[in-house]
Amino acid sequence: MQSQNPIFIPGPTNIPERVRLAMAQPAWDHRSAEFDQLIVPLCADIRSVFGTTQGDIALFTGSGTTGWDIAMGNLLAPGERVLAANQGMFSQRWIDLAKRMGLDVEVVEVEWGEGIPLEAFEAILAADTQHSIRAVLAVHNETATGVTSDMGALRAVLDRCGHDALLMVDGVSSVGSLPFAMDEWGVDVAVSGSQKGFMLPTGLAIVAVSQRAQARLDRVNHAQGHLDLAVILEAGRQGGYPWTPAISLIQALRISVDMLLEEGLEQVYARHAHMAKGVRAAVNAWDLSIFAKQPALYSNTVTAVALPESVSAKALVAHANARYRTSFGGGLGAFQDRLFRIGHLGALTESMALSGLATAEMAMADCGVKFDAGAGVAAAQQVYRNG
């Protein structure tokens, strides 16, 4: 029997039935006036989710990585200097892509589990009096480690240094789940994807671009063909689409954005905080460690849990999937056998979260983790009952 259990990975996330049904509609003409009438108001509503009234939205067929490629390929020229921190697997992958694209990447190495190194960034930016650094690449929510960094504080660093570098932010596992204030934080490019807070399958890169960044498109814009940012931004403003889009995903995106706005973004953020608090209470009750180094960094979309050295995280995740047909996230990089990750974002309820925690307890007990049976579930129940 095919499993219908919810998944507890940090993406793709569980897909609401309304969204699934939206993808089941018959094919329709993306050159029609009806499609134009879908795109323009959809992009306008997505701006609200990104926290911008000034920026514009571009929808590309692809993943969050496609969004990184688009941002750098359109706004940065090979050989230009960028600043980034290696603080987890996804920041590392963004750095690697930037290098492959010919950018001169200045990397600040950070212990995984820490946030963006604001002091180190400030020293580097202050010393760059010629403003040779053209962009700062920042991961808002590092999925590999369960760490959320403060983008407002990073903008303050740029402002104190009087630096004009573009602020490019990976919001793949934060937009639609965590507060994201693009205008307030002075974010120039924010990259997200359809498979996390937007509750869709993978397949859409959703990119928000400030007016300041758009002013640089004519200067650089090395992207060609269907990755040309200027062309898609115009489509989002005026309607139409220059190439064949992922029609079923876009019509489902209309439904998912409706769901976010119907719930209310503040309530969406409060719900994610509530779900995360219950998961963290469970981890504490198991007497295990949350991998993020301090509570101020704890992510409300994913919690990375450190296991005892005697227990293989890879074996635990594989066992949960094989025996209980439930997916948790594995560790990544050097911590692939030390961490397992519990995703708690998107379409998730208290009851769903409790089922995931109960299944995690069974899998941990099977794999030899020592804890008081039921302690994590009981701790989460207390949080959810009182929330």
Per residue in 157-197, pLDDT (tens digit) is 999 999 999 999 999 999 999 999 999 999 999 999 999 99
146 and 245 co-located in one domain? yes
Query: Residue 139 falls within a domain, yes or no?
Result: yes
- Statement: residue 340 has pLDDT above 60: yes
Query: Residue 369 falls within a domain, yes or no?
Result: yes
3-state secondary structure of 27: coil
Among 263, 294, 309, the domain boundary falls at 263
Query: Residue 130 falls within a domain, yes or no?
Result: yes
Query: Contact, 137 vs 88, CB < 8 A?
Result: no
Residue 12: both structure tokens together: 């793709």
Question: What is the pLDDT, as a whole number, of residue 112?
Answer: 97
Residue 197 to residues 53, 93, 171, 202, Cα–Cα distance (Å)? 20, 21, 10, 11
215 and 337 co-located in one domain? no
- Statement: residue 223 has pLDDT above 80: no
369 and 272 co-located in one domain? yes
175 and 282 co-located in one domain? no
Query: Residue 8 falls within a domain, yes or no?
Result: no
Angle at 100 between CA 99 and CA 102, to 5 degrees: 65
pTM of the shown model: 0.95
183 and 332 co-located in one domain? no
Measured from the Cβ of residue 306, the count of other Cβ atoms closer than 10 Å reads 17
193 and 301 co-located in one domain? no
311 and 301 co-located in one domain? yes
Per residue in 242-301, pLDDT (tens digit) is 888 899 999 999 999 999 999 999 999 999 999 999 999 999 999 999 999 999 999 999
**DSSP codes of every residue in 373-386:** TTHHHHHHHHHHHH
**CATH code of 341's domain:** 3.90.1150.10
283 and 186 co-located in one domain? no
Among 229, 263, 297, the domain boundary falls at 263
Q: Which residue range forms the structural domain that includes residue 81?
A: 17-263
231 and 241 co-located in one domain? yes
Confidence of residue 220 (pLDDT cuts 50, 70, 90): low
319 and 359 co-located in one domain? yes
Residues 6+ apart with CB under 8 A from 139: 87, 88, 90, 91, 94, 116, 149, 169, 170
Query: Residue 113 falls within a domain, yes or no?
Result: yes
**CATH code of 234's domain:** 3.40.640.10
Per residue in 185-196, pLDDT (tens digit) is 999 999 999 999
Query: Residue 1 falls within a domain, yes or no?
Result: no
Query: Residue 4 falls within a domain, yes or no?
Result: no
Residue 150: both structure tokens together: 């403060």
Average pLDDT, the chain: 95
160 and 272 co-located in one domain? no
Among 245, 263, 281, the domain boundary falls at 263
159 and 278 co-located in one domain? no
Number of domains in the chain: 2
Question: What is the pLDDT, as a whole number, of residue 237?
Answer: 86
Per residue in 56-70, pLDDT (tens digit) is 999 999 999 999 999
Query: Residue 363 falls within a domain, yes or no?
Result: yes
- Statement: residue 7 has pLDDT above 80: yes
